[in-house]
Amino acid sequence: MSKSYEPEGNKLPNIVGTGTKFVGEIDTNGDLRVDGIIEGNIVSKGKIVLGSGGSINGTIKCVSAEISGSFEGKLEVSELLALKNTAYFKGEMKVNKLSIEPGAKFIGTCMMSDDRQPSKPAEQDKK
């Protein structure tokens, strides 16, 4: 008698393995690990991990991401983006929090923001 696998919160783990090339769009509620090649757009309600031998060329929108491989395109991360020491990032990023290890390559633009409203400076009395 076999038991079916049911992950917590219905979030299925997804893997694009070494030697695999995927062209198209991915929309997932779970985490995604990429050790192969993806050309296209990814939307994830979880974490995206790009392994050191993997590459992504396209647009990503996710909750968090860890990049060790090569990424070219546009990336939007609502929580934390970590660029590991073997990472190569070329493009635009919009993040809430950013961690860049020494050795990582970053070419492009970065916009950091969060949901909090910036505090307004107190007005000076004019006398």
pLDDT in tens, the chain (127 residues): 444 444 455 556 799 999 999 999 999 998 999 999 999 999 999 999 999 999 999 999 999 999 999 999 999 999 999 999 999 999 999 999 999 999 999 999 999 986 654 555 554 444 4
Residue 10, token pair as written in the block: 């219905």
Residue 127, token pair as written in the block: 């006398």
Beta strands 88-100 and 21-28 are unpaired
- On whether the CB atoms of residues 37 and 19 are closer than 8 A, the answer is no
Task: Please report the pLDDT score of residue 4 as a whole number.
Answer: 44
Could you tell me how far CA 104 lies from the centroid of its own chain? 15
Query: Residue 43 corresponds to which amino acid?
Result: V
Query: For residue 101, which phi and psi values (nearest 5 degrees)?
Result: -80, 150
